[in-house]
Amino acid sequence: MKRFFYVPALILLYLLTTAKSCNDREQPDGAHEEARLTIIKDSIRSTFAAETLSVASLHAFEDAAVNKFSDLCDYQAIVHDTSVALPFREKAQEMIRGIFISGQASAVPSWHAADSIWVQQPLQRTGNSIYSGKLGYTFNPKGQSTPNNQSRVTKDSIDFSVIKREKIFGTGSLLIWDVFLGKAE
């Protein structure tokens, strides 16, 4: 009689001790992780490292340029707001430098707070790995108004480019497309 009790109890104990726990995380082996990384790189390469950009990609980069210019205006407001802590103002200045093509300083005066931003000239291929376009924007210069106390709206433009640059992924790197602002006119 004891045998009938011990056999099912041992089977149950074996199942309980060898079963996976809900808290155990599977550790992927090196080959599986490497294959997953290769798939991700290939996906990024096909999307962002293509030799030429599709019409949909060009429109997406134009929208990204509009967003970068809007961010530029926000960062400039932070830099020139003396009530903001110095580390935040320094970080905003660093972010401004990252928006522009290397070596090109911002020619957008700090008093430009854009009211409206649009793509004035769509992206056109201008080089082997460069597309260029132009954003238009309107702004109200601070402290300037018309005799009727109406604010004066001014139109201006700024160049933007989509260029390939090196981006580090893990231990390797890829040339991917990225959007940068250029000279203001």
Beta carbons within 8 Å of 152's beta carbon, 6+ residues apart: 140, 141, 144, 145, 146
Helices vs strands, H then E, count in the chain? 4, 4
Neighbours of 147 (CB within 10 A): 5
How many Å apart are CA 10 and CA 156, to the nearest integer?
Answer: 82
* Architecture of the domain whose range is 54-184: Roll (3.10)
User: pLDDT tens for residues 11-56?
Assistant: 777 777 777 766 555 555 677 888 888 888 777 777 667 788 889 9
Among all chains, which residue has been given the structure tokens 């056109």? 124
* Three-class SS state of 27: coil
User: pLDDT tens for residues 56-112?
Assistant: 999 999 999 999 999 988 888 898 889 999 999 999 988 988 898 875 555 555 555
Annotated domain spans of the chain: 54-184
- Of 5-9, 50-54, 75-79, 132-136, least confident by mean pLDDT is 5-9
